Amino acid sequence: MKQFHPLKVVAKQQETRDSLRIALDVPEALRPTFAFQPGQHLPIQTTVDGKRLRRTYSICSGLGDWPLEIGVRVQPGGQFSEFAANELAVGDELEVMPPTGRFHVDLDSDNDKFYLGFAAGSGITPILSIARSILNGEPGSRFALFYGNRKQRSTMFIEDLYALKNQYPDRLQLHFVFSREDQEFEINAGRIDAEKVAELCAHFCRGDHADEAFVCGPDSMITTVTAALTERGMLADTIHAERFGVPRRAMKPVAEEPAASKDTTTVTVIMDGHKKSFDMVRDGVSIVDAAAGSGVELPYSCKGGVCATCRTHLREGDVRMATNYGLEPWEVEAGFVLACQSQPVSEAILLDYDKA
Ligand code: FES
């Protein structure tokens, strides 16, 4: 199982009034462990007022850049983000798990691709990493980024984006859309919705066929942008999406499932080559929470079905997933599940955390 490692905060910088950039030093010996694919995120843990908090933050660094940088939007009342904004200082340590997540690009220096990126608000964080890495690592590829915000002053990483545009003027298209600020051109005003996607693509892509698209923002934006891209002829498996700000959903008890004849399940997990078992009652609690109650720690971060830190392979038995934003269709097909969203529906299940 991936472990948490203490990483030192080596820089902390205000990005906008309500967002931060935090740089984490990764010692040379740990760099292979923290090697990441652009677009992935880091589960981070700390203790605030005696309470252990765990959150997931996307990496904004380009491939091969150290220290690792993350973007943090400070949410009013958000325990971790307010701690990061008000108390975390350079020199402090955070417990950090190696990069994870299925929202990423597989780079190939021989690629000659045209990529689209659609980001809203802090959704720019992983897309900045993806765009940087593609432009640096695929000399034949181009990237068109459409980035929506309320106002210019609330736009995260704006200086990084202008610097990237200066570095790659012919291969990066950079277009901002602002919803609460007058714009000289109508096309730059409003929200990134289906209509805006059609308008932006018609105006700036001019029949250029996109090979892959990366979309990151709130749930409603993902749904509309994905549908608009599909409408324009992109295949579903070339559109990659990551949802930000998805609320945690309580799971309903598995009452109507007919398969089980008793209301407890024996859960066996394989992790790092070892087997552990515990019994859980099928009363609406997830496998991750039931395991914790039995003294078995399973990996998790968001517990909202988004980050896929809890991804595991169901080798035997059946489960029902309440929500899945973190797994691709092929992974579900292949038997992978999100343990934070899964409840057993059979009397015994076997979960293999060692299967990649
Ligand atoms: S912990 Fe994030 S998807 Fe399960």
Digit-coded pLDDT (tens) for 45-89: 999 999 989 999 999 999 999 999 999 999 999 999 999 999 999
- For a pocket test of ligand 1, which of 100, 302, 331, 351 has the largest count of ligand atoms closer than 8 A to its C-beta? 302
For residues 13 and 20, the answer to whether their CB atoms sit within 8 Å is yes
Reported as a pLDDT band with limits 50, 70 and 90, residue 113 is very high
With respect to CATH, is domain 5-96 assigned 3.60.15.10? Answer: no
Cβ of 306 below 6 Å from ligand 1: yes
Q: What pLDDT is stored for residue 326 in this prediction?
A: 86
Q: What pLDDT is stored for residue 262 in this prediction?
A: 59
List C-alpha distances in Å: 324 to 30, 239, 248, 330. Answer: 31, 17, 11, 13
Cβ of 305 below 6 Å from ligand 1: yes
Distance from the alpha carbon of residue 248 to the mean position of ligand 1, in angstroms: 10
- For a pocket test of ligand 1, which of 103, 307, 332 has the largest count of ligand atoms closer than 8 A to its C-beta? 307
> What pTM does this model have?
0.88
Digit-coded pLDDT (tens) for 300-314: 988 989 888 999 999
Alpha-carbon span 197 to 130, nearest angstrom: 20
Alpha-carbon span 30 to 7, nearest angstrom: 10
Distance from the alpha carbon of residue 52 to the mean position of ligand 1, in angstroms: 17
Alpha-carbon span 230 to 222, nearest angstrom: 12
Which residue is closest in CA terms to ligand 1's atom 3?
Answer: 305
H helices, E strands: number in the chain: 7, 18
Q: How many CB atoms lie within 10 A of CB 110?
A: 8
- Higher-pLDDT residue of 255, 193: 193
Assign domain 264-352 to a CATH class. alpha beta
Beta bridge partners of 240: 214
Pick the CATH number of 114-243 from 1.10.10.60, 3.30.70.270, 3.50.30.40, 3.40.50.80: 3.40.50.80
Closest atom of ligand 1 to CA, residue 340: 4
Cβ of 310 below 6 Å from ligand 1: yes
Cβ of 158 below 6 Å from ligand 1: no
The average pLDDT across 173-194 equals: 95
Cβ of 300 below 6 Å from ligand 1: yes
The average pLDDT across 181-198 equals: 94
Digit-coded pLDDT (tens) for 192-231: 999 999 999 999 998 789 999 999 999 999 999 999 999 9
In this predicted structure, the answer to whether residue 252 has a pLDDT above a threshold of 80 is no
Every domain of the chain and the residues it spans? 5-96, 114-243, 264-352
Closest atom of ligand 1 to CA, residue 341: 4
Q: What pLDDT is stored for residue 255 in this prediction?
A: 46
Distance from the alpha carbon of residue 9 to the mean position of ligand 1, in angstroms: 25
In this predicted structure, the answer to whether residue 259 has a pLDDT above a threshold of 50 is no
The average pLDDT across 131-141 equals: 98
Closest atom of ligand 1 to CA, residue 299: 1
Distance from the alpha carbon of residue 351 to the mean position of ligand 1, in angstroms: 15
Q: What pLDDT is stored for residue 248 in this prediction?
A: 53
Digit-coded pLDDT (tens) for 284-333: 899 999 999 999 989 998 898 988 899 999 999 999 999 998 888 889 99
Q: Tokens 């092929």, residue?
A: 330
Alpha-carbon span 241 to 102, nearest angstrom: 9
Cβ of 299 below 6 Å from ligand 1: no
Cβ of 340 below 6 Å from ligand 1: yes
In this predicted structure, the answer to whether residue 92 has a pLDDT above a threshold of 90 is yes
Cβ of 302 below 6 Å from ligand 1: yes
